Structure 1
Amino acid sequence: MTQAVQSRATADKLSGEERRDAAELASSKSLKSVYVYEAPVRLWHWVNALAITVLCVTGYFIGSPLPTQPGEAIHNYLMGYIRFAHFAAGYVLAVGLLGRIYWAIVGNHHARELFWVPLFTRSFWKEVLGMLKWYAFLTERPGKYVGHNPLARMAMFFGFLLLTLFMVVTGFALYAEGAQRDSWQDKMFGWVIPLFGQSQDVHTWHHLGMWALICFVILHVYAAIREDIMGRSSVVSTMVSGHRTFKD
């Protein structure tokens, strides 16, 4: 079988998304970089990172408040400010997620990677296994990917997107208690507390979700920096410039 026939047979097995990535990789051999993440995606990423940081710090103190404050209670509104910062960051997170969904519709195909995973594609799981070996230091070189690598894509969907949706839903359900009955928060999320059983159960799961999100952030930052140093493409700088730069 000639090389041309082999290439045609391989191309027939690729999905439309994989063909686009292959074409971008082919052009990157001469360009050395591919424009991957558009400005709205990058802006959302960094605003999201700030919002999550504020939410985790303030959420910790809401769950484990300071035992006391000096002086008269009337002059101390620290926990009130902490709760306000938490609520404000929660709104930023929720609105940003809606904006991100919109951009997944109107943006390039890389903008849609966050919202679905090709779980029923055999080649996807093969690539996931390859990346697991790479992160376990069992292989010397990872594959070259224009967007998220398959393992990162799966982690972003299950470890970030679904978890973030859970935190938004449970967070607004708890917020609805203060907004009271017939508020829009209560109308949209009031069903959550009865589903879990009681308010304290929702508090507990929301707090556990915070720790799960912290674990995800730690792994996410580690993997991004590690890939920049040891991998074959840029990661951190890509989320600043939008360009994925490749190295061999």
Structure 2
Amino acid sequence: MTMQSYSRREEARDTVPPAEAIYVYEAPVRIWHWINAVSIMVLAVTGYLIGSPLPTQPGEVSAHFLMGYIRFAHFTAAYLFAIGLAGRAYWAIVGNHHAREMFWVPVFSREYWLDTFAMLRYYAFLGPTPRQFSGHNPLSRFAMFFVFLLVSLFMSVTGFALYGEGAQAGSWQQIAFGWVRPLLGQSQGVHTWHHLGMWAILIFVILHVYAAIREDIMGRQSVVGSMISGYRTFKK
């Protein structure tokens, strides 16, 4: 599907009668979603502690490995996050058309922007309930691409750049991402941007959870449950 193919007529295939269920999210997408959610939680907590370490522990330094465990958890979650993102990109190619919605936005479509502004008015309690979508609505699609996906790529690149600094010259992380540090102000600059990216992801997560629960209640459709069963249902 190309960006020019977005139209109300084609999107009508995703608009279903009330109480009917359609299969939207395939198993790999659902598995990735929940693994990704856990990874982000671990990355946020451990990343914050890496940036603002806990007070010094009593006793001999050699008896404590707390920061080592925190860093190990952060690196493990980071690899899960990055590998999961690559796997999600692969499934966008081989999966159904809903799997591709996160990776492109029909920015040249007038109908898309009309639907997006209708969703904005709806979320601001200024407009009526817009038409329903089986997959991501236009506003969530915009947020998934321009906020979640792009910031996630930025976090992966800056994260591996910082990891390469510790892995030192010759490591694949340093070879592949060593160019990032001088571009963003050396090590401290990359740390700062990486830290700010974490807060951007957390703000997105808060709004994402709010919007999903709100749609379950006010939109009369299953949103949270659809990421468990894969089916989107609509109520009268």
Instruction: Place the TM-score, normalised by the shorter chain, in its bin.
Output: over 0.9
- Residue 23 of structure 1 pairs with residue 13 of structure 2: yes
1:234 CA drift (Å): 1.1
Structure 1: 4+ residue segments shifted above 4 A = 16-20
Determine the structure 2 residue equivalent to 1:42.
Answer: 30
3-state SS in 2 of match to 1:244: strand
Separation in structure 2 between the aligned mates of residue 17 and residue 183 of structure 1, nearest angstrom: 48
Report how far residue 73 of structure 1 moved: 1.2
Answering whether residue 160 of structure 2 is matched by residue 172 of structure 1, we say: yes
RMSD: 1.5
Q: Does 1:149 align with 2:137?
A: yes
Conserved in 2, the CA contact under 8 Å of 1:179 and 1:185?
Answer: yes
Structure number with greater Rg is 1
1:231 has 2:219 as partner = yes
Find out whether 1:125 has 2:113 as its counterpart: yes
2:175 is equivalent to residue 187 of structure 1: yes
Distance 1:133 1:16, change over 3 A: closer
User: In the TM superposition, what is the alpha-carbon distance from 1:24 to its structure 2 partner?
Assistant: 3.9
Q: Is 2:53 the counterpart of 1:65?
A: yes
The answer to whether the Cα contact below 8 Å between 2:222 and 2:233 also exists between their aligned partners in 1 is yes
Residues 79 and 208 from structure 1, CA distance in 2 versus in 1: closer, same or farther, beyond 3 angstroms? same
CA spacing shift, 1:125–1:70, aligned 2, 3 Å: same
CA–CA distance in 2 between the matches of 1:17 and 1:107?
A: 21
- Aligned counterpart for 1:214 among listed residues 178, 202, 207: 202
Query: Following the alignment from structure 1 to structure 2, what is the Cα–Cα distance between the partners of residues 192 and 72?
Result: 37
In the alignment, does 2:37 pair up with 1:81?
A: no
For the pair 1:203 / 2:191, whether they are aligned, the reply is yes
Q: Give 1:149 deviation, angstroms.
A: 0.4
SS in 2 for 1:144: coil
Aligned to 2:147: 159
User: Quick one: which amino acid aligns to residue 115 of structure 1?
Assistant: F
Structure 1 gap segments, 5+ residues each: 1-13
SS in 1 for 2:232: strand
Distance 1:105 1:18, change over 3 A: farther
Question: Is the contact made by 1:17 and 1:109 (CA closer than 8 Å) also made in structure 2?
Answer: no
Identity %: 67
TM-score, structure 1 normalization: 0.90
Structure 1 residue 197: Cα displacement: 2.3
Q: Displacement, 1:159?
A: 1.1
Sort the Cα spacing of 1:59 and 1:245 in 2 relative to 1 into closer, same or farther, 3 A. Answer: same
1:243 paired with 2:231, answer yes
Identify the residue that residue 102 of structure 1 maps to in structure 2: 90
CA contact (8 A) 1:234 1:246 kept: yes
- Inter-partner Cα distance in structure 2 for 1:165 and 1:102: 15
Q: Relative to structure 1, is the Cα distance of residues 181 and 119 closer, same or farther in structure 2, using a 3 angstrom cutoff?
A: same
Q: Which residue is equivalent to 2:103?
A: 115
For residues 115 and 47 of structure 1, do their structure 2 counterparts lie closer, same or farther at Cα, with a shift above 3 Å needed?
Answer: same
Q: Which whole-Å CA distance do the structure 1 matches of 2:189 and 2:66 have between them?
A: 26
> Number of residues paired by the alignment?
233
Residue 182 of structure 1 aligns to a residue whose secondary structure is coil
**Deviation string, structure 1 residues 98-152 (Cα, Å, up to 9, x no partner):** 1001100000000000000001100011001100011001124232001100000
